[in-house]
Structure 1
Amino acid sequence: MPLWSPPVKSAAWNRAEFIVAGILPVSLVVFGTISNLLSVTILATKESRKSSTNIYLIFLCIVDTLSLYQWNLDYAVAEFTGLQISQRSLFLCKSIEFLGNYTFHASASLLTMVSVDRALLLWSLQYKRKIAKPEIALIICIFIFVILFILNGYLLGLGYERTVSNGTPTILQCYQSQDRNDSMHSINSDQTGKCPANSSVKF
């Protein structure tokens, strides 16, 4: 959904918004998923798996596929239903935002390893003989994923959901302490910054 919209929406604006915020993200998800799956299929053949670079590329395709769903699907659902996936529950909000950070860092790390691997293969004969092996590349990938989970995992422990019993819409906040008034994803904001008397907070 766009961050800005005109005061009066014309039919042309609604069509453009539907295409850009709805159809295009779904198309990217479908096309990107098929392309990455084909890439993984080719890279995972017996001969291709012998290259350490291809091991990094296989995991890069998987991570990039996950990142497609994190952003595109979230906003496409918002366009079709009026509510983002990340706004439907605290668990989904945390998971989607965590996935965005995690896949971004993982993708950058794997791209770096591809560049380093190719450069060292050209410059170092010892690296090519002793280190540039698929088994070692797999271990490095697992190490990257574990380290990034440790670095980003704390985000899953933040945020809260405030349920008000008097009919006021639920306040959903991710990666914010209870004392903050605004949030990255908020269904409704509490202007006073205080928890109402008839409310419960779920962490």
Structure 2
Amino acid sequence: MTIFNHNHTSNVDIDNRQKFVSYYPLALIIFGTALNLLNFSILWRPAFRDTHKRPTIHYMRTIAIFDILMLYGWNFDHFLYGAYGFTLSGYSVPFCKIFSFWNYFTCQVSAWLRVFICLDRYLSLSYLHKTWFSQSKNVITIIMCIITIATIISIHILLFACHYNIDGSINCQARLYEIYPIWDYMHLALYNGVSFIMLLVFVEIVQFKNLKFNIVLCQ
């Protein structure tokens, strides 16, 4: 009887953990979407509409959009797999191509938009006049360039990744070459490594300049 109760308790614990793992991504999608939509709506209020005065608003609005788009990639697949036993990326070859591209593309764009926000902040503190990077129309150009470059970097997934095996199952690799795990390492470098280092450098420089400025004011 004790063994039965122990096994029953263990099964319940495993089931609860599985439910948490399944529904946590869904909760992340719901709350993340709601909060980013709130953020996006705030950035369109009258106080933030003068993008010529505050060109970084363009970055922030775009980040809010891409942060929403990011939520519907891996998170949605994790939820579907845990709750229903399938994923959209494994549903068909077109879905596999689109979702695989989507997961990498949105993350990279979001990361590099943050880098350029920090760069803009650094330039604003370093120069008394507005630089080319701080012009509203040029910020839009930079955003479009980031999106375009991220598309070019990951476009090979749309073109070559995912095909049907002989048994009808979907293979996420390309027929001509092996995408994974090499592409995961490259994505890690682009999304986390290089962008994080640059962001950290700019943030530290900005903080140092702010500290130096405050010290001068106090003297």
TM-score by length of 2: 0.70
The CA deviation string for residues 4-55 of structure 1, in whole angstroms up to 9 with x for no partner, is xxxxx712101111112x2111110000001001111111234313211111
* Cα distance, 1:175 vs structure 2: 3.5
- Higher fraction of helix: 2
Return 5+ residue gaps in structure 2 as ranges. 1-9, 182-219
Q: Is the 8 A contact 2:97 2:162 kept in 1?
A: no
CA 1:125–1:175 in 2, change beyond 3 Å: closer, same or farther? farther
* In the alignment, structure 1 residue 93 sits paired with structure 2 residue 96: yes
**Unaligned 5+ runs, structure 1:** 1-8, 185-203
Tell me, in whole angstroms, the C-alpha distance in 2 between the residues paired with 1:133 and 1:32. Answer: 30
Counterpart residue number, 2:171: 173
- Within 1, Cα distance between the matches of 2:20 and 2:120? 40
* Residue of structure 2 in register with 1:63 after alignment: 66
The answer as to whether partners of 1:158 and 1:174 remain within 8 angstroms in 2 is: no
* Alignment-derived partner of residue 40 in structure 1: 40
1:94 to partner: Cα distance:
1.3
Please give the secondary structure, in 2, of the residue aligned with 1:86.
coil
% of aligned pairs identical?
25
Aligned-pair CA distance for 1:131: 4.6
Distance 1:139 1:38, change over 3 A: same
Q: State the distance in 1 between where 2:57 and 2:17 align.
A: 40
1:176, 1:183 within 8 Å by CA — same for their partners in 2? no
Greater relative contact order (Cα < 8 A, sep 6+): 2
The 2-side partners of 1:74 and 1:115 are apart by 32
C-alpha separation in 2, matches of 1:35 and 1:79: 24
Shift in Å, 1:159: 2.8
Tell me the SS of whatever aligns to 2:173: coil
Query: How far apart in 2 are the matches of 1:171 and 1:76?
Result: 21
Normalised by the size of structure 1, how large is the TM-score?
A: 0.75
